Structure formats: structure tokens, C-alpha cells
Structure 1
Amino acid sequence: MSPRTKEQNDAIREMRMSQIMQAAAEVYLEKGIQLEIRDVAVKAELGYGTVYHYYKNKHMLLEDLLWDALNQAETAVQPAWTGEGGGLLQAETFSRLLLRKCVQDPAVFILLKTVADNFHHFPGNRFAKLFGVFQERIYLPFVKLIREGLRSGSAEKTANLIFGSLVGCAALNIHHHMRNEIDEDEIVDLIFSGVRPKEK
């Protein structure tokens, strides 16, 4: 039997890391910050040593999970930046895409919930860079869309209320195992009905 090629080893490593991160997201939804590497190994159906080989502690694993989720969220909302219809219509598209991604990918939900909680469960300041990149790539462009669409009021306050609503709706569906029942269009329409400027 010939030894594996570098490409084969890289593919196995990529598959294992994806398997570990998916399991970590599921365990985090069950246990929160109390998750342990051993819990992730059991959920991923891998040996403890295998998971430990990739991640020396849960904080390294969670950091990787959240960075990956940030990239996934950024990719998911990309069509909103180039959409037509102006600020609020683009913000609605953004919200719909982000909510859909939250429900499909628990890691994205965990990212948004963690940002909303200001990383208060995590020790030290290790997530400051992640928060800064989230602000730059996701939050501030969204605030800009809201600002363009509002005639008055605070764009930041409105953006925060929308983000909070999206996280809350995603949480209800994820924690109550209703992932196939969520209607992103209906939820986003309801949220934005209170945001759209009233016709005079």
C-alpha cells in the first residue's frame, strides 16, 4: 500500500476539521461555553486524541469556528451589496439571506449570538479582532444600507433592533427544532414593516 499524497492528506485534514467544527457547533448549542473537547469528539464520532490533535483547547476550536462562520456569513449576504432597489430593499435582502444562513448553519447563528452578547462568555480579549472584522465586513455596511433608506432616526439603533430580531427568530427555530418551518420572507417582512418610512 503506497503512502498518501500531500493532496490526500490535505483533503483528509479538511474533512476532519469540518467534521469537528460541525460537531462543535451542535455541542455549543446544547452546552454553551461549558462544552469540552471530549464532548465534541463524541458528537463527531472521533477519538478524543484526533480532535485534540487539531485543537489543543476549546477556545482555539471556538475561535476557528467563529472565524469560519464570519466568512460564511459574509459570503451569504454578498448578493445584498449588489442588489437593486436602494438601501432598505438591500437591507431586507441582507436580512433574509443572513437569517436563512443562521438557520442552515448553526455556527453563523452562534457568531451572531456571541457578537450580540459582546463575547461576554469568552475569557480575555482574544475575540477583539474578530469583533472588529465583523463590524467592518458585516455590521457597518448593513448600517449604511439602513441609513440610506431611513428619512429620520438612528441607523445604528435600527440596525441593532433588526440584528436582535434576526438572532431571536433564529434562536426560536434552532432551539425548538423547527429549522424547516421558518419562513424568512414572512419574518423579514414583519421586521421591516416597522422600519419602512410611513407614507404621507
Structure 2
Amino acid sequence: MSPRTKEQNEAIREMRMRQIMQAAADVYLEKGIHMEVRDVAVKAELGYGTVYHYYKNKHMLLEDLLWSALSLAESAVLPAIEGNGNDMGRAELYSRLLFLKCIQDPSVFILLKTIADNFHQMPGNRFQKLMAVFQERLYLPLVEMIRQETAEQAPEKLANLIFGSIVGCATLHIHHRGQSGPDSLDVIDILFSGIRKRES
């Protein structure tokens, strides 16, 4: 049997990283900050040593999970950020895309929930840079869409309402799977219907 090529090794590494990230998100939803690397290894069906090879502790794993989620969230809302049309329509599209990504990928939900909680359970100041990048790439673009379109004196308040609504509704969906949960279209439609009514 010939040794694996560099490309094959890289493909295996990427596959394992995806397994670990998915398992970490699932375990975090179950146990929160009390999750351990061993729990992630069991969920990913990998040896503890394999997961430990990539992550020496759960805080490194969580940090990587959140940075990865930030990239996923940014990619998801890019069509709204770069799109044409009126800014409130783009803000609604942004919200719809972000909500859908939250319910499709638990890591994005974990990111938004962790930020909403102001990294309450996370140790030290290791997430300050993540928060700054989130503000720059995800939060402020939404604030600007709102600022351009409304007479709102503090568009940040409306942006906070939107993010809070997304997190709250995604929480219901994620923690009550199998029960009748919020439909993504209904949630965003209701939210923006109320926003438009208030503005008129």
C-alpha cells in the first residue's frame, strides 16, 4: 500500500475538522460551556486523541467554532449586503438569510446567541477581536441599511431588535425540533411588517 499523498491527507484533515465542528455545535447545544473535548470526540465518533490532536482544550475548540460560524454567517448575508434595491428590502433579505442560516447550521446560532449574551460564559478577553469583526462585517452593515431607509434616530436599536428576534425564534426552532415551530418566512414577514407599520 502506497503512502497517502499530501492532497489525500489534506482531504482527510478537512473531513475530520467538519466532523469535529458539527459535533462541537451539537454538544454545545446540549451542554453549553460544560461540554468537554471528550464529549465532542464521542459525538463525532472519533478517538479522543484525534480530536485532542486538533484542539488541546474546549476553549480553543469553541473559539474556532465561533470564527468559522462568523465566516458562514457573513457568506450567507452577502447577497443582501451587496444587493441592489431599497435598503429596508435588503435589511429584510439580510434578516431572512441570517435566520435561515441559524436554523440550518447550529454554529451560526451559537455565535449569535453567544454575542447576544456578551460572551458571558466565555473565559477572559479572548473574544474581543471576534466581537469587533462581527460588529464590522455583520452588525454595522445592517445598521447602515436601516439608517438609509428609516427616520429612526437610533438605527442600532432596530438592528438589536432584529438580531434579538432572530436569536429568540431560532432558539424556539432549535430546542423544540419536531414540534410546530416558527416558519422562517412568517417570522421575518411579521417582524418587518411591524417595522414598516411603525415607520409609516
Range into which the TM-score falls when normalised by the shorter chain:
over 0.9
Give the equivalent residue in structure 2 for 1:95.
95
Shift of the 134–180 alpha-carbon distance from structure 1 to 2, 3 Å rule, reads: farther
* Deviation for aligned residue 1:37: 0.4
Moved more, 165-174 or 79-88: 79-88
TM-score (norm 2): 0.96
Deviations 1:54-110 (A, max 9, x none): 100000000010000000000000110233331111000000000000000000000
Shift of the 196–153 alpha-carbon distance from structure 1 to 2, 3 Å rule, reads: farther
* Deviation for aligned residue 1:194: 1.9
Q: How many residues align?
A: 200
* Deviation for aligned residue 1:199: 7.2
The 2-side partners of 1:39 and 1:55 are apart by 13
Over the residues paired in the alignment, what is the CA RMSD in angstroms? 1.5
Equivalent residues in 2 for 1:109-128, closer than 5 Å:
109-128=109-128
Corresponding letter in the other structure for 1:154: A
Secondary structure (helix, strand or coil) at the match of 2:94 reads: helix
Shift of the 37–180 alpha-carbon distance from structure 1 to 2, 3 Å rule, reads: farther
The 1-side partners of 2:51 and 2:82 are apart by 40
Contact 1:150 1:196 in 2 (8 A): no
Deviations 1:129-176 (A, max 9, x none): 000000000000110011112123320001001100000000000000
* Deviation for aligned residue 1:198: 4.7
The 2-side partners of 1:145 and 1:57 are apart by 39
Shift of the 49–153 alpha-carbon distance from structure 1 to 2, 3 Å rule, reads: same
Q: Which runs of 5+ in 2 are unaligned?
A: none
Contact 2:21 2:65 in 1 (8 A): yes
Shift of the 178–168 alpha-carbon distance from structure 1 to 2, 3 Å rule, reads: farther
Secondary structure (helix, strand or coil) at the match of 1:196 reads: helix
Shift of the 96–178 alpha-carbon distance from structure 1 to 2, 3 Å rule, reads: farther
Give the equivalent residue in structure 2 for 1:51.
51
Shift of the 94–9 alpha-carbon distance from structure 1 to 2, 3 Å rule, reads: same
Q: Which runs of 5+ in 1 are unaligned?
A: none
* Percent of paired sites with the same residue: 68
The 2-side partners of 1:40 and 1:198 are apart by 46
Secondary structure (helix, strand or coil) at the match of 2:195 reads: coil
The 2-side partners of 1:149 and 1:179 are apart by 37
Give the equivalent residue in structure 2 for 1:18.
18
Q: Runs of 4 or more off by more than 6 Å in structure 1?
A: none
TM-score (norm 1): 0.96
Corresponding letter in the other structure for 2:32: G
Deviations 1:26-46 (A, max 9, x none): 000000000000100110011
The 2-side partners of 1:99 and 1:198 are apart by 22
The 2-side partners of 1:139 and 1:28 are apart by 24
